[in-house]
Amino acid sequence: MVSISTLFIAKPVVRTALMISAFMVVDCSAEDWPQFLGPDRNGMSAETGLISSWPEAGLKPAWRAPLGEGMSGIAVSGQRLFTMYQDDTNQYVVCCNVENGKTLWETAIAPRYQNSMGHGPRATPTIIDGQVIVFSGEGVLASLKSLDGKINWKVNTIIRTQAKPAEYGMSGSPLVVGDQVIVQTNSGAQGFTVGSYSLTSGKLNWGANNQPAGYSSPALLKCGTAKYITVFCGKSLFGVDPSSGKIAWKYPFATEYNCNTASPINIGGRVFISSGENHGSALLEFSKGANQELQVKESWTSLGRESVLRSEWQTPVQHGGYLYGFDNVGSASAITHLTCIGQETGKVVWRKTRFGKGNLIFADGMLIVSTMKGELVLVKAISDHFELIGRQKLLGQTRQAPALSNGRVYLRDNSELVCVDLRR
């Protein structure tokens, strides 16, 4: 663990948000989707009252709005949605009205970013305390005022830590824990994988680990009886004490090309991870050793070419004792199965073969799926068989999970935003 100070001057921030845990503060009501994968960063929504059958005439978008290139997801707080895109010159944070998609403001935070795996910003904004926290493709971390887009502070984390950007771009979405903003950077001259930056100033508080970054977003997860900042980097999964920045535990899980990309999720004090490149999945449990150190034990693993679930970039969702996710065959193969497995057994319950690449969230007893081909798909989240509700192409190629807020699903591709009303 490395503790470093930097020189930043930040504007004062009024903190009025709702405290939802001992560590974390987010601008969130029951209808908001304020960060990557929603309120709890696990793709789960408590919303109900959504359609349970497919309209005869198909889905009709409530509105479409022009956007630009990028792979950043969508965050929603109140009547505003936030995402990132780029044009020929810059990467931008953009704020739009949820009712009609009209742009309220946009702010450039970094130059245009190009990468062989797709151009533009990757990370999803986090909405917190009247701030929008964003992370650009090359690693610029910034705080903006959610009201008007004015920059509170900005720091290039890669330059600051004398590191190199991850090969496929900086993809992990910012996690806010108390007064800390947590992002994966990359091991470099100063030797750490994950950094903590002040929410109010952008000052670097601490850095931990010295392994290559992955492409996963950090999460605050309960591991045994305590919560840890849980980071899925290129070579391992590890937990960091939020108050000290010290690594409390580590589990080796090296994946080819450092492609640990799906986020870790909680299952009753245990942690589930999954990776593509024919790596596989593991459910981990935690206990205290003789010296009170935290020990990691495998509840089950399913690894290699015969693994039950190889999540390439899509974070699975957990519901009713089952995990639903995308099993990607081979190394970046086009063959992907939508799969349901038992969380306690690690055994396949059902599999829709060759479903296609996509991403998913859960709400109101359904899987809400966006496919890479630009389709919106609804599937019943039931454990005994696959049951399709409907499937319709709505936009161009996309990798982002849907965002759900107040009964509306928000999607984006490289040219537009699309809103679909799923309320009954």
Prediction pTM value: 0.91
- Cα separation, 121 vs 136, in Å, equals 5
**Contact call for residues 360 and 366 (beta carbons, < 8 A):** no
Q: Low-confidence residues of the chain, pLDDT below 50?
A: 1-25, 27-30
- Cα separation, 17 vs 26, in Å, equals 6
Cα dist from 191 to 113, 155, 202, 239, 240, whole Å: 24, 18, 19, 17, 16
Structure tokens at 372: 């890479």
- Cα separation, 76 vs 126, in Å, equals 9
- Cα separation, 173 vs 378, in Å, equals 26
Among 96, 113, 109, 110, CA closest to 144? 109
- Cα separation, 356 vs 41, in Å, equals 24
**Contact call for residues 92 and 86 (beta carbons, < 8 A):** yes
**Contact call for residues 418 and 408 (beta carbons, < 8 A):** no
Structure tokens at 118: 């797709």
Q: Give the three-state DSSP class for 256.
A: helix
Domain ranges of the chain: 18-421
What's the pLDDT at 290?
Answer: 79
What's the pLDDT at 25?
Answer: 42
Terminal-residue alpha carbon distance, the chain = 51
Structure tokens at 205: 């508080």
What's the pLDDT at 191?
Answer: 64
Cα dist from 416 to 67, 84, 397, whole Å: 4, 12, 11
Q: Which fold has domain 18-421?
A: Methanol Dehydrogenase; Chain A (2.140.10)
H helices of 63-221, where? 157-160
pLDDT tens, residue by residue, 284-304: 999 988 787 899 999 999 999
The strand ranges marked E within 157-257 are 175-177, 180-184, 194-198, 204-208, 219-223, 226-232, 236-240, 247-252
pLDDT tens, residue by residue, 347-356: 999 999 999 9
CA angle 242, 247, 248 (to 5 degrees): 85
What's the pLDDT at 3?
Answer: 38
**Contact call for residues 389 and 53 (beta carbons, < 8 A):** yes
Residues 6+ apart with CB under 8 A from 408: 62, 98, 419, 420, 421, 422, 423
